[in-house]
Amino acid sequence: MRKLILLFIPFLLMSCGGNTYIYNVLDFGAKGDGTTDDAVAIQKAIDKCSQSGGGTVLLTGGRAYLSGPLEFKSNVDFHVDAGSILLANPDESIYHLSAFGTNEAEGMMWLYCKDIENLSITGRGTIDGNAVAFMGAELEDSYELKPIDKFDPRPHVMTLVGVKKLLIRDLKITGAAYWTIHLAGCEDAVITGINLLNPLKVRNCDGIDVDHSRNVRISDCHITSGDDCICLKNRREFSDYGPCKDIVVTNCTMTSRSCAIKIGSENVDSIANVLFNNCIITESNRGVGIQNRDEGTVTNVVFENMLIDCKLWSDVWWGKAEPIYVTAYPRKTADARDASWRFPPGATKGSCGEVSDIHFINIYARSENGCFVGGDVPGKVHDITFANVNLTLKSLGRYQNGVIDRRPCEGEEFIYGPLKGVYTENITAIDLSGVKTEIFD
């Protein structure tokens, strides 16, 4: 009897909130040997945990759990213990669930869920998307993308759709072959204390994408990513979930080959009531960017108390080392494989909504290029404030500075001119009185 009691103890953890049941994936048949695909065993643990009313699904033992796609369920704490790794199976043929519904041109799902509640993904272990296994040849500034037709097998790390009450905490998340954490239509979400470390040469590996989501708090994270580190948007595929609003990001450090903090470019609804505070951006191709390219609007956004360090990288990445970038231009009528999703149903071209009430306060930036604030017509971008914005501009000599990057847009994509602190185009109601600029040859 004593032995039976001891065997039962790992499944029951006493806490101040009551009894929390532990579902160790090893007890459901997982091997954790780094070569066997443990997806079936891990999924059994997730399903049992949720069906039984909730608890913790545990990956432990300092093991490497290779896995194909997994579906999270309600009332589950998915916990990767210190020293343990959840590793994406590199077999492209097993990824067949699109991250964007019937749009199969932008990657598949690895860890995913839809319309659930009370989900947490925690632990001191590692979730690894195995990015390089899905890439082509390594280049100087990036990896080649493998040729595809309409189906892109690269897996997103987490596609979390319609989750109410979400927590992601403490983990190391790395190696995204496509987006890393995608919150679509989520409410009451917290992401805190994670190290999100993607290879800087992998394209499309966004860090955290907040899409049609509300009441989101991101704090105390360190993010490196070839693509955008934190991005707010409203994708057309998830338009039923409503606007993206009431977002706070604080105390984060970021490095990107694209734009460290971006709003857009996909935006078919409204993005409003957003605060970025106490963040540090280093060695990024662009610092802070609002890139409105669709019919949605962006309003009431504050960036304050930030250090920004930008440098010019190659044209593989959008951006020309602009520390601050606020733009509204209609999207380019592209021949991309997913072009039908870029414009409203039946349309062959789109329109672009307004950007207004954007405030930059206490910003200290060093870069090879200046800021750009522009729109396609006068008044499209308005009520922009720069208060105590200090810019130090100095070329490192590898690439041409004084170039403004409008991509993706109809018409001329680059503007060439002399290096200046802030370049504007078709702007009304902008206050630049708080800008101090030093330019060094």
pLDDT at 399: 80
Say how far residue 311 (Cα) sits from the centre of its chain. Answer: 21
pLDDT tens across 104-138, in order?
Answer: 889 999 999 999 999 999 999 999 999 999 999 99
Q: Which of 59, 29, 52, 27 is nearest to 41 (CA)?
A: 29
pLDDT by residue (tens digit) across 73-108? 999 999 999 999 999 999 999 999 999 998 988 999
Q: pLDDT band at residue 398, thresholds of 50, 70 and 90?
A: confident
Predicted confidence (pLDDT) at residue 4 exceeds the cutoff of 70: no
Domain residue spans in the chain? 56-440
Cβ neighbours of residue 351 closer than 8 Å, sequence gap 6 or more: 294, 295, 330
Lowest mean pLDDT across 7-11, 242-246, 272-276, 310-314 = 7-11
Q: What is the pLDDT of residue 71?
A: 98
Report the b/e string of 156-194 with b at 16+ CB within 10 A: bbbbbbbbbbbbbbbbbbbbbbbbbbbbbbbbebbbbbb
Residue 236's pLDDT band (cuts 50, 70, 90): very high
Strand partners, 358: 301, 384
pLDDT at 45 over 70: yes
Q: How confident is the model at residue 337 (pLDDT cuts 50, 70, 90)?
A: low
Residue 386 tokens, joined = 């720069």
Using the predicted structure, report yes or no on whether residue 147 has a pLDDT greater than 60: yes
Q: Is the pTM of this model over 0.75?
A: yes
Tokens of 133: 């296994």
First to last CA, the chain: 81
CA distance 369 to 405: 11
pLDDT at 290: 98
Which has more confidence, 314 or 68?
68
Q: What is the pLDDT of residue 30?
A: 98
Q: Quick one: pLDDT at residue 9?
A: 37
CA neighbours closer than 13 Å in the CB half-sphere of residue 1: 0
Of 17-21, 301-305, 399-403, minimum mean pLDDT range:
17-21
Using alpha carbons, select from 252, 255, 245 the residue that is nearest to residue 187. Answer: 245
Question: Given pLDDT bands bounded at 50, 70 and 90, which one contains residue 415?
Answer: confident
Say yes or no to pLDDT of 63 above 70.
yes
Least confident of 326-340, 345-359, 422-436: 326-340
* Cα–Cα distance for residue pair 385/379, rounded to 1 Å: 15
pLDDT at 334: 64
Phi-psi region of 324 (alpha: psi -120 to 50; beta: other; left: phi over 0): beta
Those residues with Cβ within 8 angstroms of residue 68's Cβ, 6 or more apart along the chain or in another chain:
37, 39, 88, 89, 91, 94, 95, 110
What is the pLDDT averaged over residues 1-15?
38
The yes-or-no verdict on residue 336 having pLDDT over 60 is no
Q: What is the pLDDT of residues 191-202, one digit of tens each?
A: 999 999 999 999
Locate the DSSP E strands across 93-229: 98-100, 103-114, 117-122, 126-128, 155-161, 164-169, 172-174, 181-184, 187-192, 195-197, 208-211, 214-219, 222-225
Predicted local distance difference test score (pLDDT) of residue 188: 98
Mean pLDDT computed over every residue of the chain: 92
Query: What are φ and ψ of residue 40, in 5° steps?
Result: -65, -45
Kindly indicate the confidence band of residue 396, based on its pLDDT and cuts at 50, 70 and 90: confident
Q: Are 220 and 168 in contact (CB under 8 A)?
A: no
Q: In the predicted model, is pLDDT for residue 358 greater than 60?
A: yes
Give pLDDT, residue 346. Answer: 80
Tell me the CATH number for domain 56-440. Answer: 2.160.20.10
Residue of 365, 234, 341, 337 whose CA lies nearest to 291: 234
Please determine, for residue 1, whether its predicted confidence score (pLDDT) is greater than 80: no
Structure letter (DSSP) for residue 269: S
| % of the chain surpassing 70 pLDDT | 94
At 338 the pLDDT is: 58
Percent of the chain's residues with pLDDT above 90: 80
Q: Supply the pLDDT for residue 65.
A: 98
